Structure 1
Amino acid sequence: MARIVVVGAGVGGLAVAARLAVTGHQVTVLERADTVGGKLGRYTHDTASGPFHFDTGPSLLTLPGIFHELFEATGAKLDEYLDLVPLDPIVRHVFPGGGPVLDSCADPAEFTARIGAALGDRAAADWQRLWRRADRVWRASERDILRRRVDSPRDLTRLAWRLGDLTAIRPGQSLRGLGRAHLSDLRLRMLLDRYATYTGADPRRAPAALVAVPYAELAFGGWYLRGGLSSLADALLSRCLDLGVVVRTGATVIRIDAAGGRAHGVRVDGQAAPVPADVVVANVDALTVYRDLLPDPRRLAGLADRSLAGFVLLLGVRGNSGLAHHTVFFPRDYDAEFDAIFGAPGRGVRARPATDPTVFVTVADDPAVRPTDHEAWFVLVNAARHGTVPGAVDWRRPGLAEAYADRILDVLAERGMDVRDRLVFREIRTPADLADSTSAPGGAIYGTAGGLLRPANRGAAHGLWLVGGSSHPGGGLPMVTLSAQIVADEIGPAW
């Protein structure tokens, strides 16, 4: 039996703790915040009409089979803890210039028919051709990448991919290039580009292999958890406690002790004695690990802090807006938005708030999260990370957040969804707020190392492992859960 310390109680940290505890290890989870869940946050705003409840992180659960596997591996059934509600549409896409909307769904034939009805037969045929490519990429990725350790690009070259897999994945091509090669309709290209942002990346630079992201969503479905996605954190905490895991909140780890090249404990702020450990699992951003907790200039140099962040409005709205659970309102110039978010630091061009951004609105049809005859809106706009360097925005600059919130509401009004006279309240969450609440560097949503290949799960010292969105296989609830499975399998059982 090993003494294992998990740093961070996000989904990845709780999932790996439960998996390790069920195999006989002594597991302690240390979390700096007062609650568990990490970026899977929640917020309640009380009003005279009643409370509004918000998920302040993920709003969609995909690849539910991964979560069924997790709970079964820890001796439970997912349905005993969570009520999964399938979504149709998964996302309603509202394109610039008016015209028909496009509702995505988990039935490939039905979605193709919807594309044909909204955008024409050629667009539907294009999508079918792309879908066949995405299927090959998904199968190769799921088999060879997502469920195994990948320590370096050399590991990818050694995988036993068939020639057809390599042709489908096509190393060197961008997701934008893939869209241009397969999709003649600009609106479908915009739809595809949006999935790069699910990994924190710019579609013009993101690898074409990320076509597996829409495939996973549209082949296996999108799900809501009744009561909110944060109920997943509650369920995982319950599993951990039932399995004997010690979970300490309000415990900020300030250093990983790894003298002699082996992890043997952590230091907690305000605590004189170290917390001993045979194994340390870090469920914090890789940049934070190698910059602050266990400084490693070599590994730090390999981390690209170029992942996007998010600017969020939490709105209490009177009445019924008729929106789908998820609605994305696209801009006229998608490239201008990415130019603003990422800037061009090499040319001295600073990042800035996009003036005409894509706006993603989540409105759960769930009486448990809002008063009668009201709606709880979670409004997300992709944004540059917080900071003072050319590729970032100082979101603490006086007046900026309020002015940008006004602009987003104006953009929604311009796109046919004016709620300015129906607001009960509005609250703002900037990338700086996310950085403060979750220790995500710059407020990066999906980890600072955006893109396909993330930092390795095996850490810089023997007995140190990394889980979570900034490490392999990537960001998003399913991927961080798979990272927990990879690490738990590598550590192995206590017997």
Structure 2
Amino acid sequence: MARVVVVGAGLGGLAAAARLAAGGHRVTVLEQGPEVGGKLGWVSRDGHAFDTGPSLVTLPQVFRDLFDATGDPLDDVLQLERLDPAVAYRFADGTRLAVPGTLDGVREVLGPEWSAFLDRAAEIWRVTEQPFLRSPLRGARTLARLARSSADVRTVAPWASLRKLGAQYLTDPHLRMLLDRYATYSGSDPRLAPAALATVPWVEQAYGSWYVRGGLHRLPLAVADRARERGADVRTSSPVAEVLVEGGRVCGVGLADGGRLAADVVVCNADAAALYGSLLPPGAPVRRARASLAAATPSSSGFVLLLALSGRTPDLAHHTVLFPADYDAEFDGLFTDPRPLPDPTVYVSAPDDPATRPDADSESWFVLVNAPRHGPVDWDAPGLADSYADDVLAVLARRGLDVRDRVRWREVRTPADLERATGSVGGSIYGTSSNGASAAFLRPANASPLRGLYLVGGSSHPGGGLPLVTLSAEIVAGLVGPA
């Protein structure tokens, strides 16, 4: 039995805690905030309630595997509802496109070009799922597994960007824009992100988009409960100040209140840049990991509005995306010349769930626009957050969703707020981006160079998004092994 300390109670940390506790280890989870969940937060006020992180669950089998491995099945604990349509898109030229919630429906509505692209994406998924997404990142050995055959290499096309791959199949500008959006799932630029990200729309459309009844925040709460059932001690309001190192391996953590907690294994669910930048001592033997992080491009962040609205919006989907006329200008403003985007893509999540509203004649909208990190843009500059919130509402109005006279109240959250709430450096949602052919191999590995130290969560391998974060916990549990 190992003494395990998990730093951070985001979904990845909680999933690792549940698996390791089920494997017989003595597990303590330390969360800096007052609640578990990390970026899967929940805000409630005057009967309006909001998930403040992801709005969809994809690849539900990953979560079923987690619950099956640690106790009662997922469906005994949470109610997952398949969304149909999965997403409703609105384009600047007035075109509207509702993407069905089933693969057959997607192929029918999006047509033969998209179907041909999905066939290629399915092949990329076949080649990469096991050797990459479900296995530890081991540098050249990982590349060797991916390159077992020249046919597989041609399928994955590691030299091509997501946009370049899409151009081989898609002539419709709306479909090209729709594909570009999937790069933002990892906070990346489709002009630079690898073609392998074609697996993201494949997974979403082949396995469905799902909602957790009562809000997605119930997912980390359920995983925390499962960890406790297996014997883990989950402590909130317990910030960690440092990871302790002795004799070339971890030996515990130092707490912000001055206390210490000994450990044989430390699993870090904090942002990898924070771990390597400030939680480890300067002389820790992690020079190469720090260099890889320094060479990677940080992911983008997000600017959020929580809108408590009176009245109902006719024919509003659970998830609506409103595109700008010039999508490339958005990516330039995120990565090339960082600035608040004047004409951003706007994402609206508006679940039709009584748990999110005070009465039948009201709505609670989570509104997100991509935004550059805090640092390149000073999101704490006086007046910037409120003035940009007004700008986003004006963009919504120009695109046909004018709710300015229906707002009961609003709450604004900037990348700087995200950094303070989660410890994510600059408010980068996914740690490092997928920009560049080597980006996946610059992402921190689950097994650090320091003995006994492991990483889970969206800033480590295999990446961001709820399924990948949960897979990172499965990988780490396998690396640590049973008691």
Q: Secondary structure at the match of 1:291?
A: helix
Question: What SS does the corresponding residue of 2:168 show, helix, strand or coil?
Answer: helix
Q: Distance in 1 between matches of 2:401 and 2:459?
A: 35
Q: Does 1:379 align with 2:367?
A: yes
Query: Is the partner of 2:429 in helix, strand or coil?
Result: coil
| 2:342 alignment partner in structure 1 | 355
Q: CA deviation at 1:153?
A: 4.6
Q: Which residue of 1 aligns with 2:389?
A: 405
Task: Decide which of 61, 65, 69 is 2:61's aligned counterpart.
Answer: 65
Q: CA separation in 1, counterparts of 2:131 and 2:287?
A: 30
**Of 106, 111, 118, the match for 1:111:** 106
**Structure 2 CA distance for aligned equivalents of residues 132 and 448 of structure 1:** 28
C-alpha contact (below 8 Å) 1:2/1:25 kept by paired residues:
yes
Listed one character per residue, the Cα deviations across residues 128-151 of structure 1 (whole Å, up to 9, x for unaligned) are 211111010011111211111112
Q: How does 1:23-422 map to 2 (within 5 A)?
A: 23-46=23-46, 51-99=47-95, 101-115=96-110, 124-159=111-146, 161-272=148-259, 274-294=260-280, 295=282, 296-303=286-293, 304-322=296-314, 323-343=316-336, 350-372=337-359, 373-387=361-375, 392-422=376-406
1:161 CA drift (Å): 3.4
- State whether residues 147 and 153 of structure 2, in contact with CA within 8 Å, keep that contact through their aligned partners in structure 1: no
State the distance in 2 between where 1:11 and 1:331 align. Answer: 32
| Equivalent AA in structure 2 for residue 466 of structure 1 | L
Q: Is the 8 A contact 1:150 1:156 kept in 2?
A: no
Contact 1:341/1:383 (<8 A) preserved: yes
Per-residue CA deviation, residues 239-264 of structure 1 (Å, 9 max, x unaligned), is 11111101111111111112221111
Return the TM-score normalized by structure 2.
0.95
Cα deviation code 1:320-354 (max 9, x no counterpart)? 113100000000000011111112xxxxxx41011
Match in the other structure for 1:463: 452
Residue 4 (structure 2) aligns with: 4
Q: Which stretch of structure 1 is more off in the superposition, 299-308 or 61-70?
A: 299-308
Decide whether aligned partners of structure 1 residues 31 and 241 sit closer, same or farther in structure 2, where only a CA change above 3 A counts: same
2 CA distance for matches of 1:368 and 1:339?
38
Return 289-298 or 415-424, whichever deviates more. Answer: 289-298
Find the residue that maps to 1:235 and give its secondary structure.
helix
For residues 58 and 158 of structure 1, the distance between their equivalents in structure 2, rounded to whole angstroms, comes to 31
Aligned residue identity for 1:431: P
Counterpart-to-counterpart distance in 2, 1:260 and 1:4: 18
Corresponding residue number in structure 1 for 2:471: 482
Deviations 1:285-335 (A, max 9, x none): 111111111144432221124210000000011111131000000000000
1:60-114 CA-partner distances (Å, limit 9, x unpaired): 0010001000001001111121110110011111111113x21223422321221
Give the partner amino acid of 2:457. Answer: G
Question: Whole-Å Cα distance in 2 between the matches of residues 449 and 194 of structure 1?
Answer: 14
> Within 2, Cα distance between the matches of 1:157 and 1:339?
34
Q: Distance in 1 between matches of 2:327 and 2:42?
A: 30
Asked whether the equivalents of residues 149 and 472 of structure 1 are also in contact (C-alpha less than 8 Å), the reply is yes
Kindly report the root-mean-square deviation, in angstroms, between the aligned alpha carbons of the 2 structures: 1.3
Secondary structure of 2:48's aligned partner: strand
- Contact in 2 for aligned 1:341/1:352 (Cα 8 Å): yes
Q: 2:419 aligns with which of 431, 435, 439?
A: 435
Identity, % of aligned positions: 54
Match of 1:347 in 2: none
Structure 1: how far apart are the matches of 2:450 and 2:248?
A: 5
Is the 8 Å Cα contact of residues 20 and 493 (structure 1) preserved in structure 2?
yes
- The one-letter amino acid paired with 1:415 is R
Give aligned pairs, total: 470
Counterpart Cα distance in 1 of 2:454 and 2:138? 11
SS at match of 1:320: coil
- 1:181-218 Cα offsets, whole Å, 9 max, x none, are 21101110110000000011111110010000110100
The amino acid that maps onto 1:327 is T
Residue 118 (structure 1) aligns with: none
- The CA deviation at 1:160 is 5.5
Question: 1:105 is matched by which residue type in structure 2?
Answer: P
**Distance (Å, rounded) in 2 between the aligned partners of 1:307 and 1:192:** 18
Report the Cα distance in structure 2 between the residues aligned to 1:3 and 1:359, rounded to whole angstroms: 45
Q: Which runs of 5+ in 2 are unaligned?
A: none
User: Partners of 2:97 and 2:433 in 1: how far apart?
Assistant: 31
Amino acid corresponding to residue 284 of structure 1 in structure 2: A
| Unaligned runs of at least 5 residues, structure 1 | 116-123, 344-349
CA offset digits 1:393-413 (Å, max 9, x no partner): 110011111111111111111
**Structure 1 position 154, deviation (Å):** 4.5
Q: What is the alpha-carbon distance in structure 2 between the residues aligned to residue 173 and residue 20 of structure 1?
A: 38
Give the conservation status (yes or no) of the 8 Å contact 1:450–1:470: no
